[in-house]
Amino acid sequence: MVAFCAKGGALLTLLCLTVALGTDAQYENYNFKKFPKEELMPLTTVYGLALDHYAAEKWTESIKYLELSLRLHRLLRDSVRYCVLHCNNSKYEEPSFTGDRDLSVNWHVIMRASCQKKCRAHFPALQLPPPGRNILEEFSRRSPYRYLHIAYSRLNDLQRAVPCAYTYLQKNPEDQEVQQLMEEHKSQYDLKGYLFDHEEQPYEASFLRGVKLINSGDYSSGVKDMEEALRFYLQEFELCQADCEGISQLSPDRDFYAVIADEYVDVLRCKLKCEENLMPNVGGYFVEKCVATMYHYLQYAYYKLNDGRSALPCAYSYFLFEPEDQVMKQNLQYYGAYSEQWGLQDKHFTPRMEALKLFNHTVTQKQMLTSAQKYQEMDDEDFLGAEEAALWPQRDAGES
């Protein structure tokens, strides 16, 4: 293996870059439709083996199972996403239920379940025992990369250790121990070419490029990258929503409707975390309200390009998510006062379609979750009424 390159020297830096480009990517040969059969195992089992070997300081074995667990997790996620999106987009010819809403709802549930069952039969990963919620949260936090960083470091393989640490820190910038290790690496070595995120999503790179270009005054190029970032983000948001529907462990000994209700509440909670889970990390800081931020940059860049017809819908889109922003409110008033000079029509004084769709979708989910939680938390008096609730203890006593 080529040694890590110490700071100093153009030739050494060039060598470092060459080696970095040749370093195996985490998922270099990954293909979710052609996953090696010999590697198919339950994620919980593989991750457990990885941590057992890690605790025993068997670094090579631990790395083997940690990397396999990452591939299995991605395989599971991609398989779930494929089936959820396929079934969401499938059309069924609904029979006439003569106004019986319950039959219609049940029919749609049956159709969706049948589609999922048929689709999942094609993906071996979905035939294995599903991982528990705690395991999935470990992968959501990128904990395997923390273990990989330590294991590779113990083997003095910093070429692979550094990208793992960087990948982990993108989701966990508050981890002071790993941050300190990275600072030590930076003080000793030239890390250029090694600071990359194994799990980076396309919208993150486009967003960062767009921000840099717009801040530098290159508004035309910046707009292209920011529009691309927005498009990629919305695609990933849809996939994140699909993730929430795919992996669950239902109790077999509960009432059908109670199971569905509890499961759906859990799904809603999961879906409402997508915005948090998709926050890009820029320089160690998470970009909160990412979509609103994208529209803010877009309205500013379009304004600087004298394209008011594109700027105004972006401003209204931003205002959807940030209605208390007084500066943006003044911007909207400005466009209203000078609408003729900008060539604006009524159709421009509205949010963009995809912004309105996302906003309404999220608001509806929040309302549904609030309503469901309120209903689940009702006491007997709220649920039955004071008089009926007062009878329940007597009825129970009489039956015992």
Burial zone of 152 (CB within 10 Å; 0-12 exposed, 13-18 middle, 19+ buried): buried
> CA gyration radius for the chain?
26
Higher pLDDT, 391 or 112: 112
- For the stretch 150-160, pLDDT in tens is 999 999 999 99
Q: Look at residue 5 in the predicted model and tell me its pLDDT.
A: 44
Question: d(Cα 300, Cα 331) in Å, to the nearest integer?
Answer: 10
Instruction: Say whether both 164 and 228 belong to one domain.
Output: no
Residues in the chain: 400
The tokens describing 374, both together, are: 């309120």
| Least reliable range by pLDDT among 156-165, 170-179, 259-268, 360-369 | 259-268
Higher pLDDT, 283 or 178: 178
Instruction: Say whether both 122 and 235 belong to one domain.
Output: no
| CB-based contacts of 17, cutoff 8 Å, min separation 6 | 192, 193
Q: Look at residue 373 in the predicted model and tell me its pLDDT.
A: 81
Instruction: Say whether both 77 and 209 belong to one domain.
Output: no
Higher pLDDT, 385 or 186: 186
The tokens describing 217, both together, are: 């005054």
pLDDT at residue 89 tops 90? no
Q: Look at residue 105 in the predicted model and tell me its pLDDT.
A: 76
Which residues are bridge partners to 189 per DSSP? 6
Instruction: Say whether both 183 and 270 belong to one domain.
Output: no
Instruction: Say whether both 184 and 239 belong to one domain.
Output: no
Instruction: Say whether both 182 and 207 belong to one domain.
Output: no
- Taking every pair of C-alpha atoms in the chain, what is the biggest distance, in angstroms? 90
Listed in sequence order, the DSSP H helices in 96-157 are: 101-120, 133-140, 143-154
Domain boundary among the residues 156, 188, 220 is at 188
Instruction: Say whether both 208 and 309 belong to one domain.
Output: yes
Higher pLDDT, 333 or 12: 333
Q: Look at residue 4 in the predicted model and tell me its pLDDT.
A: 44
Question: d(Cα 41, Cα 368) in Å, to the nearest integer?
Answer: 37
Question: d(Cα 370, Cα 364) in Å, to the nearest integer?
Answer: 10
Instruction: Say whether both 243 and 180 belong to one domain.
Output: no
* Banded model confidence at residue 18, pLDDT cuts 50, 70, 90: very low
The tokens describing 232, both together, are: 């990629």
Mean pLDDT calculated for residue range 315-339: 96
Q: Look at residue 202 in the predicted model and tell me its pLDDT.
A: 95
Q: Are 222 and 206 in contact (CB under 8 A)?
A: no
- For the stretch 330-349, pLDDT in tens is 999 999 999 999 999 999 99
Within a domain: 39: yes
Q: Look at residue 230 in the predicted model and tell me its pLDDT.
A: 98
Nearest to 231 by CA among 291, 282, 275: 291
Q: What does the mean pLDDT of the chain come to?
A: 85
Higher pLDDT, 306 or 113: 306
Answer positive or negative: Cα dihedral of 217, 218, 219, 222: negative
* Banded model confidence at residue 143, pLDDT cuts 50, 70, 90: very high
Task: Tell me 6's DSSP state.
Answer: B
* Residue 217 zone, left/alpha/beta (φ > 0; ψ -120 to 50; rest): left
Q: Under DSSP, is residue 98 helix (H, G, I), strand (E, B) or coil?
A: coil
**C-alpha dihedral (251, 255, 259, 260), degrees to nearest 10:** 150
Q: Are 81 and 178 in contact (CB under 8 A)?
A: no
- For the stretch 237-296, pLDDT in tens is 999 999 888 766 555 455 566 677 788 888 999 999 999 999 999 888 899 999 999 999
Within a domain: 262: yes
Within a domain: 1: no
Which domain covers residue 242, as residue numbers? 202-372
In one-letter notation, the amino acid at residue 242 is A
Structural domain count of the chain: 2
Instruction: Say whether both 180 and 239 belong to one domain.
Output: no
Q: Are 302 and 308 in contact (CB under 8 A)?
A: yes
Task: Tell me 279's DSSP state.
Answer: P
Instruction: Say whether both 206 and 112 belong to one domain.
Output: no
Within a domain: 40: yes
* Banded model confidence at residue 190, pLDDT cuts 50, 70, 90: confident
* Banded model confidence at residue 22, pLDDT cuts 50, 70, 90: very low
Q: Look at residue 64 in the predicted model and tell me its pLDDT.
A: 96
Within a domain: 123: yes
pLDDT at residue 313 tops 50? yes
pLDDT at residue 39 tops 80? yes
* Banded model confidence at residue 104, pLDDT cuts 50, 70, 90: confident
Q: Look at residue 249 in the predicted model and tell me its pLDDT.
A: 54
Task: Tell me 240's DSSP state.
Answer: H
| Least reliable range by pLDDT among 12-16, 63-67, 136-140 | 12-16
Within a domain: 387: no
